[in-house]
Amino acid sequence: MTTKYIGKPASRVDGLEKVTGKARYSADFKVEGLTYGFIVSSSIAKGKITGIDSSRALALDGVLQVFTHENVRNLPWFKLRYTDLDAPSGTPFRPFYDNTIRFSMQPVALVIAETFELARYASSLIKVDYEEETHTSSLYQNISKSFKAPKGKIGYVPPKSRGNADAAYEDAAFKIQAEYKHSAEHHNPMELFSTTAIWDNEKLTVYDKTQGVSNCQFYIGNVFGLAYKDVRIISPYVGGAFGSGLRPQHQLFMAVLAALELKRPVKVGLTRQQMFSFGHRPATLQKLALSASPEGTLESVRHEAYSETSQFENYTEVIVNWSATMYACENVELKYELVKLDTFTPLDMRAPGAVTGVHAMESAMDELAYTLKMDPLIFRLKNYTDEDQVNEKPFSSKELVACYREGAEKFGWAARNVEPRSMRDGKNLVGWGVATAAWDANQMPSRAKALLSIDGKLVVSSGTSDIGTGTYTIMTQIAAEILGIAIENVTFKLGDTNLPLAPLEGGSWTAASVGSAVKTVCEDVRKILLKHAVKTKASPFYNYDPNKLQIDSGEIFDPNDSSKGISVTEIMRLAGVNSIEETSTSGPNPLVGRKYTMNSHAAVFAEVKVDEDLGTVDVTRVVCAVAAGKILNPKTARSQILGGVVWGISKALEEESKLDHQYGRFMNHNLSEYHVPVNKDINDIEVIFVEEKDDIVNPLGVKGVGEIGIIGVAGAIANAVFHATGVRVRNLPITMDKVLQIAEDDRNQVAV
Amino acid sequence: MNSFSYNKVTEVAEAVADLTGHANARFIAGGTNLLDLMKENVARPDHLTDINKLALTAIEETEDGGLSLGALATNADTAWNELVERKYPLLSQAILAGASPQLRNMATNGGNLFQRTRCYYFYDTATACNKREPGSGCSAINGINRIHAILGTSEHCIATHPSDMCVALAALDAKVNVTGPYGDRVIEFRDFHRLPGDTPHLDNNVQDGELVTSIELPPSNFTQHFHYLKVRERQSYAFALVSVAAALELDGNTIKDIRLALGGVAHKPWRDCSCEEAFIGQEATEANFRALAEMILADAKGYGSNTFKIELAKRAIVRAFSEALKNN
Ligand SMILES: Cc1cc2nc3c(=O)[nH]c(=O)nc-3n(C[C@H](O)[C@H](O)[C@H](O)COP(=O)(O)OP(=O)(O)OC[C@H]3O[C@@H](n4cnc5c(N)ncnc54)[C@H](O)[C@@H]3O)c2cc1C
Ligand code: SF4
């Protein structure tokens, strides 16, 4: 099919608004009489509040109220009312519920004042007394208290073992075992969380930063006892979220609470420091044992993961399962356990679980390849599988071999010397590494509305969000393509609970889910237009077979007869319709899901240069070859992969939330000390989208590209560092002290 | 933020006078450090004297052939100044290794000397910190101390001075000119910053109310063999884990004069002249640089997460001198 818009590198339709500052983010909405909130965060991680003295704050002119657990009443005690759509099992955190401190930086008071500066100043005058209790914050020291991860969180699939991994491992000729550690990480989007809540005594309007307006509507309706229809959540632009906006954050509750109580509009934002007071990618400990036959057949995989969660909820993510589907192997033993700590509940962060588990698995695969003295890419190809052995199903499509081939060719992998420390560039040791990546290609039920007006303008809408990924753009492309009108005449609207229901923006499923709904609704409008074309007497196509007609650039025509044509607007006029409005639903086909496993795949190749004396690592080249079905927009898709690779470099080399166990508190809570790459850290990144046709996965044939780009990167870099130096650093981030093996507290890395 | 009064001054004398009568007044220059500290409730001045209009931006040669750097010249203007680049390229290199272009455009030379430590605990009022609140304790000693000091520490504080510029100034024997309620005085750079001892709340020996007017560099011959090496976790916009200002004056391959100052390792830029003297007359070899490194770090002490800095610093010293040798 030749297309006009789908598959073309359209620039962002919202680009101009964003770069000119016209795009309004949640903190940018101004309303008459706005008041400002500032949250006071707890200084301890566990204990009781014994007293709060707000008198000095309240004495200031312009301070309207200080909310604390002592004066906030009439909130439901029933824990389920706080359970949002992305909540794991357990009891969600209930702000101002009682005097118990459950995590460091827990909101303990909310000051509302006439100005932001005053609110912030007043917050510094509030004195909170605590009775401290001993907290537990170290995952590694509490592994013995781990327990089996319970079900209960959307998207969490418990791991399934097969065969007898222990016996196979015992008997195998070649084997490795190793432990991998990952620190916690925080999402740290550029835009801080902020909410503006306006209560007009009947209806509540809320501007929020979120990845799901309907989730916030659900949460606010339940917690504050409001009918959903009276709660409108608006979130047109999101300055990055990466999963942090999947659950309602503290400021949403705070702003709504104050607006309802004070009957004034209220804006509450989190500070950068407070961005470390909620969910994060959990710290983990992973143990892997792999074995292979002398010919390089993978004989057993044993993958255990221990992950932190809070005392009040059981956050789960799919860490180990990937190790059971990425390669052919008869014997797989998986284990996934949680350890409760006095920290906030972890939260999905870009490619949750996979980033963590695949890094460990792909490092272990590399270790095993070295034991076998086999090229790591050949080893992977040798154990390639076209079957999902866990569910005993074929993949709907899997062009991973093409990823390996095209990626290797672009990278020049064939020239690689297998020996570690075999390449050099002056003082630098040079290494090349490879890793595989896989991610789910899911589709969720979604609704979309289309409104075609007599002037030929089409407005399509759905209550989804665009967290910077390009949702606005690709939905506009799909609508223009399907209906056959010029892209300039299409507007897409999102981020509003008044729009049709869409799923949370996560899991790389938005393109497939909302895209399919947009496709369906535009097909429906198209059918109506063609019906008018053949049923309207004055139409040149009166009594035609509508299936013979096409629409392009707003013109209805018969491809086999160029003598006739009529514009979309003209046919509407002749038919006497002012507008056509349709709402449609699209969802996954359960039959397909039963028969096929649907995944996207990638192969990542990385080159590093490691300063031999100083241990600093520079990632000089990355090639990321991706098989993700139909690419709707190569430009925005490439940006997604580039962002994923950059974050993968970050994860491999720099990123870490430093948790102080004296305080049970994350300490590097600013962007000066929470390191992510700067421009200078990023060199050459090549993105390849391999051809992958998939008619099964969904009507659009798309798999989503939001997460697949990050998953293999840390593994490829870790493997490249080994190839360069002969040192296997299994504890991320790979910092110079670990590379040089002069770090005092890194007992888990072993030189080969 | 506390409320505070604010006054913009145009004369040096006016600036000094403006501080008096306030319990806790501060000068504000570029504001790149002070404003952050105020937002985090670490600094709570009741009055700010804005000194940006003072005529202290000149960078000019002194009579003895050295250079004077105005306290209010920005870090960017200083680093890219033709005289600085030509006569003290080590200083240019050091400044440009710091912060980011945006920050260097705002940051002043005077403010750079006074920038406070980046110790995580110092910035978080929920934690104990002797520097912020004398007597409350030091959280870093048993906490996260990857970025902390290995030399000259005390049981009260193990913070580092985070500046890059100051490391080069220490190596180059700079002097700091100050004026104040009690008149003008000159402070040798080695006496400018302090070790923590039992007064970690004091970063330097400038008295309350004193204003830095300029920094003076004596004439020197380190225009050929010099190198500022900054080792850190990303290639820009990060403070040094270890930094080295290395400079050599050679006679053939024999060391005629040598300078070595370290950043990121102590409460002040670390220089030990006796170590330098021991190598004058010796050959400029990697082995000698390693010996020098061993000597200057002989008393280094790690606190766990930062212990690696001892070996890292030694390697960085050898590398910096090797790079310095390459220059010509
Ligand atoms: C994110 C970030 C990264 C950074 N990275 C680096 C880095 O890598 N390397 C580095 O070296 N620096 C770095 N800096 C620090 C930066 O160099 C300093 O903040 C800057 O030099 C301070 O200068 P200023 O003029 O802005 O000082 P201000 O913030 O205005 O003042 C700082 C202090 O100095 C006092 N003061 C200022 N001028 C005078 C004077 N003439 N006499 C007496 N007292 C005075 C003020 O009262 C105040 O107490 C970084 C800063 C930030 C925010
Ligand atoms: S090292 Fe110094 S600045 Fe840091 S916590 Fe200890 S006393 Fe405070």
**Domains (range + CATH), chain B:** 5-52 (3.30.43.10), 225-326 (3.30.390.50)
DSSP reduced 3-state for A38: strand
- Nearest CA-CA distance, residue B290 and chain A, Å: 12
Taking a contact as any Cβ pair under 8 Å apart, which residues of chain A between 644 and 673 contact chain B? 653-654, 658, 660-663, 665, 667-670, 672-673
**Listed residues A560, A587, A614: the one ending a domain:** A587
Nearest CA to ligand 1 atom 27: B111
Same domain flag for A538 and A626? no
Say how far apart CA A486 and CA A490 lie, in whole Å: 7
A145 within a domain of the structure (yes/no) = no
Taking a contact as any Cβ pair under 8 Å apart, which residues of chain B between 36 and 65 contact chain A? 40-41
Q: Which of A110, A111, A101, A155 is nearest to A133 (CA)?
A: A101
Distance in Å, CA B134 to ligand 2 centroid: 10
Name the pLDDT band for A481 (thresholds 50, 70, 90). Answer: very high
Say how far apart CA B251 and CA B284 lie, in whole Å: 10
Q: Which amino acid is at A35?
A: T
Q: Of the residues B12, B16, B32, which should be mutated to test ligand 1's pocket, given the most ligand atoms within 8 Å of the CB?
A: B32
Atom from ligand 2 closest to the CA of residue B137: 7
Same domain flag for A204 and A268? yes
Same domain flag for A577 and A601? no
A178 within a domain of the structure (yes/no) = no
Atom from ligand 1 closest to the CA of residue A672: 1
Distances from the Cα of A606 to the Cαs of A649, A686, B132, B254, in angstroms? 10, 10, 44, 43
Render A453-517 in DSSP notation, one character per residue: ETTS-EEEE-S---SSS-HHHHHHHHHHHHHT--GGGEEEE-SBTTSPP---S-TT-HHHHHHHH
Biggest distance spanned by C-alpha atoms of chain B: 62
* Structural domain count, chain A: 3
Same domain flag for A612 and A666? yes
Backbone φ/ψ region at A508: left (φ over 0), alpha (ψ -120 to 50), beta: left
Query: What CATH number is attached to the domain comprising A216?
Result: 3.90.1170.50
A326 within a domain of the structure (yes/no) = no
Atom from ligand 2 closest to the CA of residue B138: 6
Record: contact A660-B143, CB cut-off 8 A? yes
Nearest CA to ligand 2 atom 6: B138
Best residue of A125, A271, A661, A742 to probe chain B, by most B CBs closer than 10 Å: A742
Say how far apart CA B250 and CA A483 lie, in whole Å: 78
Record: contact A744-B308, CB cut-off 8 A? yes
Residues from chain A contacting residue B237 (CB–CB below 8 Å) = 672, 678
Same domain flag for A488 and A574? yes
Distances from the Cα of A493 to the Cαs of A264, A454, A487, A547, A667, in angstroms? 28, 19, 14, 30, 40
Minimum CA–CA partner of B311 in chain A: A742
Residues from chain B contacting residue A680 (CB–CB below 8 Å) = 234-236
Taking a contact as any Cβ pair under 8 Å apart, which residues of chain A between 215 and 274 contact chain B? 273
pLDDT of residue A3: 84
Residue A338 contacts residue A373 (beta carbons within 8 Å): no
A&B contacts, CB < 8 Å: 108
Residue A51 contacts residue A129 (beta carbons within 8 Å): yes
**Phi, psi at residue B273, to the nearest 5°?**
-65, -30
A8 within a domain of the structure (yes/no) = no
Whether the pLDDT of residue A415 is over 60: the answer is yes
| Average pLDDT of the segment spanning A510-531 | 97
Say how far apart CA A52 and CA A63 lie, in whole Å: 16
- Nearest CA-CA distance, residue B207 and chain A, Å: 29
Same domain flag for A404 and A545? no
pLDDT of residue A747: 38
Say how far apart CA A436 and CA A716 lie, in whole Å: 8
- Using alpha carbons only, what angle is made at residue A745 by residues A741 and A748, rounded to the nearest 5 degrees? 70
Name the pLDDT band for A745 (thresholds 50, 70, 90). Answer: low
pLDDT of residue A80: 87
pLDDT of residue B17: 96
Nearest CA to ligand 1 atom 52: B99
Q: Which of B104, B118, B185, B174 is nearest to B149 (CA)?
A: B118
**Cis peptide before A590, with omega less than 30 degrees from 0?**
no
Whether the pLDDT of residue A750 is over 60: the answer is no
| Average pLDDT of the segment spanning A711-731 | 98
Same domain flag for A66 and A194? yes
Reported in sequence order, the residue ranges of A98-173 that DSSP labels E, i.e. its strands, are 100-101, 107-113, 127-132, 147-148
Distances from the Cα of B12 to the Cαs of A733, B16, B19, in angstroms? 49, 6, 12
pLDDT of residue A327: 98
Same domain flag for A572 and A657? no
Distance in Å, CA B28 to ligand 1 centroid: 10
Same domain flag for A412 and A481? no
- B193 CB burial (10 A radius; 0-12, 13-18, 19+): buried
Taking a contact as any Cβ pair under 8 Å apart, which residues of chain B between 107 and 146 contact chain A? 118, 120-121, 123-127, 139, 142-144, 146
pLDDT of residue A563: 93
**Phi, psi at residue B230, to the nearest 5°?**
-120, 120
Q: Is the CB of B29 under 6 A from ligand 1?
A: yes
Residues from chain A contacting residue B124 (CB–CB below 8 Å) = 273, 665, 667, 669
Say how far apart CA B309 and CA B288 lie, in whole Å: 20
Expressed as residue numbers, the domain containing A70 is 31-134+190-241+245-276
Nearby residues of A742 by Cβ (< 8 Å), 6 or more positions away: A615, B307, B308, B311, B312
A592 within a domain of the structure (yes/no) = no
Distances from the Cα of B181 to the Cαs of B9, B22, B23, B54, B283, in angstroms? 16, 14, 15, 17, 49
Count of beta carbons in the 10 Å neighbourhood of residue A194: 22
Residues from chain A contacting residue B123 (CB–CB below 8 Å) = 670
Say how far apart CA A263 and CA A198 lie, in whole Å: 8
Distances from the Cα of A592 to the Cαs of A67, A394, A438, A530, A698, in angstroms? 52, 11, 19, 31, 9
| Average pLDDT of the segment spanning A212-235 | 97
A473 within a domain of the structure (yes/no) = yes
Nearby residues of A296 by Cβ (< 8 Å), 6 or more positions away: A369, A372, A374, A378, A379, A382, A383
| Average pLDDT of the segment spanning A697-723 | 96
Name the pLDDT band for A748 (thresholds 50, 70, 90). Answer: very low
> SS in 3 state form for A572-599?
HHHHCCCEEEEEEEECCCHHHHHHCECE
Dihedral sign, CA of A475, A478, A483, A486? positive
Whether the pLDDT of residue A752 is over 50: the answer is no
Distance in Å, CA B29 to ligand 1 centroid: 8
Distances from the Cα of A694 to the Cαs of A2, A148, A392, A501, A595, in angstroms? 17, 36, 19, 26, 14
DSSP reduced 3-state for A430: strand
pLDDT of residue A76: 86
pLDDT of residue A743: 81
Say how far apart CA A308 and CA A312 lie, in whole Å: 12
A406 within a domain of the structure (yes/no) = yes
Minimum CA–CA partner of A41 in chain B: B126
Residues from chain A contacting residue B147 (CB–CB below 8 Å) = 673
Name the pLDDT band for A749 (thresholds 50, 70, 90). Answer: very low
- Nearest CA-CA distance, residue B39 and chain A, Å: 9
Nearby residues of B102 by Cβ (< 8 Å), 6 or more positions away: none
Q: Which amino acid is at A256?
A: V
Mean pLDDT estimate for chain A: 96
The alpha carbon torsion through B258, B263, B266, B272 (nearest 10 deg) reads: 0
Active site residue A202: no
- pLDDT tens column, A691-708: 999 999 999 999 999 999
Same domain flag for A506 and A425? no
- pLDDT tens column, A527-571: 999 999 999 999 999 999 999 999 999 999 999 999 999 999 999
Q: What is the CA radius of gyration of chain B?
A: 19
Best residue of A124, A611, A660 to probe chain B, by most B CBs closer than 10 Å: A660
Distances from the Cα of A385 to the Cαs of A102, A297, A328, A330, A486, in angstroms? 46, 12, 5, 12, 43
Mean pLDDT estimate for chain B: 97
Best residue of B118, B146, B318 to probe chain A, by most A CBs closer than 10 Å: B146
A241-266: burial string, b at 16+ Cβ within 10 Å, e else: bbbbbbbbbbbbbbbbbbbbbbebbb
Whether the pLDDT of residue B264 is over 70: the answer is yes
- Nearest CA-CA distance, residue B235 and chain A, Å: 6
Say how far apart CA B244 and CA B297 lie, in whole Å: 13
**Listed residues A542, A568, A587: the one ending a domain:** A587
Distance in Å, CA B38 to ligand 1 centroid: 13
| Average pLDDT of the segment spanning B201-222 | 97
The pLDDT > 70 percentage for chain A reads 99
Atom from ligand 2 closest to the CA of residue B128: 5
Record: contact B308-A742, CB cut-off 8 A? yes
**Listed residues A587, A607, A642: the one ending a domain:** A587
- pLDDT tens column, B93-105: 999 999 999 999 9
Query: Minimum-distance ligand to the CA of B108?
Result: 1
Residues from chain B contacting residue A736 (CB–CB below 8 Å) = 231, 233, 241, 308, 312
- pLDDT tens column, A134-145: 999 999 999 999
Say how far apart CA A314 and CA A344 lie, in whole Å: 11
Nearby residues of A181 by Cβ (< 8 Å), 6 or more positions away: A140, A283, A284, A285, A286, A730, A731, A732, A748
Q: Of the residues A672, A673, A675, A676, which should be mutated to test ligand 1's pocket, given the most ligand atoms within 8 Å of the CB?
A: A672
Q: Which of A198, A256, A212, A204 is nearest to A231 (CA)?
A: A204
A536 within a domain of the structure (yes/no) = yes
Count of beta carbons in the 10 Å neighbourhood of residue A416: 21
Q: Which residues line ligand 2 (CB under 6 A)?
A: B 117, 119, 121-122, 129-131, 138-140, 148, 157-159, 200
Q: Which of A132, A595, A459, A95 is nearest to A312 (CA)?
A: A95
For residue A550, the cross-strand partners are A557
Query: What CATH number is attached to the domain comprising A567?
Result: 3.30.365.10
ipTM score assigned to the predicted complex: 0.96
DSSP reduced 3-state for A220: helix
Atom from ligand 1 closest to the CA of residue B34: 29
**Phi, psi at residue A271, to the nearest 5°?**
-80, 170
Q: A61 — contact with chain B (CB < 8 Å)?
A: no
Name the pLDDT band for A744 (thresholds 50, 70, 90). Answer: low
Same domain flag for A636 and A567? no
Q: Is the CB of B108 under 6 A from ligand 1?
A: yes
- Quick one: which H or E segment has residue A324? helix A322-325
pLDDT of residue B1: 57
Same domain flag for A408 and A476? no
Q: Among partner residues B2, B124, B125, which is closest to A121 by beta-carbon distance?
A: B2
Q: B233 — contact with chain A (CB < 8 Å)?
A: yes
Q: Is the CB of B241 under 6 A from ligand 1?
A: no
Query: Minimum-distance ligand to the CA of B204?
Result: 1
